[in-house]
A = this chain, B = another copy of it.
């Protein structure tokens, strides 16, 4: 149980450089210095929800020189490979989630922060018949939270 294709939340690959490299190789990508740095931040710290800009500043602070274009390239490549999932909650920027199993989200509107809701907890009932010629690509539930008013 040290390495799996799925990621349910446990930080299973825990900074082990070889495991990170395998993960990148399994996506048919080369384990470059930049990718390893990104993978470490993304996949060795439990489930995370990050914007491109946040990831960029984290990786720069970790001492690895990397351009924003590379951040975007890799976020998209990781997403295409199923290592990340994009979550649409804000019309102005994209969030990427390291938990790629089916699940839902709380979104703290004031902080711009996402929080997982496991799909074992939350159920969606009564989806109508699908329009002809279509198939479900995903079901996204976002519970938007504001600060308590009183």
Contact = CB atoms under 8 A, between A and B. Distances in A.
A105 B144 CA distance: 16
Nearest to A108: B134
B134 A147 contact: yes
A69 interface: no
Q: Chain A's interface: helix, strand, loop or mixed, by majority?
A: strand
Given A136-B143, A144-B136, A125 B128 contact: no
Contacts of A4: none
Interface residues of A, number: 39
A137 B141 contact: no
Given A117-B128, A123-B125, A141-B141, 6 more contacts: A86-B91, A88-B91, A90-B91, A137-B145, A139-B141, A139-B142
